[in-house]
Amino acid sequence: MSITRRALVALAAAGTAALAGCQTTAPPPTLPAPAATSAAQQPAAATGKCTLNELKASLGRTTGEAGQRHTIVVWTNTSGSTCTMTGFGGVDLVGPDDPTFGGVYSLPRQAGQPAAIKLAPGAAAHSTITWLPPQDGPGWTPTGMNVTPPDETHSAGLDWPGGAVLRQDGATHPGTFLGPVQAGAEG
């Protein structure tokens, strides 16, 4: 073997021995555990639309005078989760058959832009029914009403707290209508 080759072999052997002496028995390094996130740091849970199963419908007050009257329908979130109501529900006044219109008066919606209302558990929102009593004659007196939350197909039955109603089933600009859902138990 040549001197250069012997020197390289000796150098390689020394390097291997040096590396062998440098080995440790420590475990391989580990990555730190991710920091725990607090509830405030976590993204807000998505809220779904309020369904009739999560809501209790009840009557608020009726106000007004001989002209227009206003009856409040209160929606209370009875679930353990926040839900959202947006828009108009539905109200069908039900009662005796009217010779002209029948026994159901489906109220038209008020003009206007509704807002999204988030309902925490136990919180309430309301809808206002604006209605006209008859000016002349006895009018039509509902015995109850079916109320439906926005974007829902199921209704709850409530008693009708008012008196006789002037039916305007075919009117272009009726004085009886349903307003959008608003925050709070009453306006």
List the domains of the chain with CATH numbers. 49-183 (2.60.40)
pLDDT at 100: 82
Tell me which residue has tokens 């998505």.
Answer: 46
* Residue 126 and residue 181 in contact, taking contact as beta carbons nearer than 8 Å: yes
Tell me which residue has tokens 């272009």.
Answer: 172
Geometric angle at alpha carbon 131, from 142 and 107, rounded to 5°: 70
pLDDT at 135: 82
Q: What is the residue-level pLDDT of the chain in tens, covering all 187 positions?
A: 544 444 444 444 444 444 444 444 444 443 344 444 333 333 344 579 999 999 999 999 999 877 899 999 999 999 999 999 999 999 999 999 888 888 999 999 998 788 999 999 999 999 999 999 998 777 899 999 999 999 999 999 999 998 899 998 888 889 999 999 999 998 6
- In terms of phi and psi (left: phi > 0; alpha: psi -120 to 50; beta: otherwise), the region of 165 is beta
With a threshold of 0.75, does the pTM exceed it? no
Chain centroid to CA 20: how far? 67
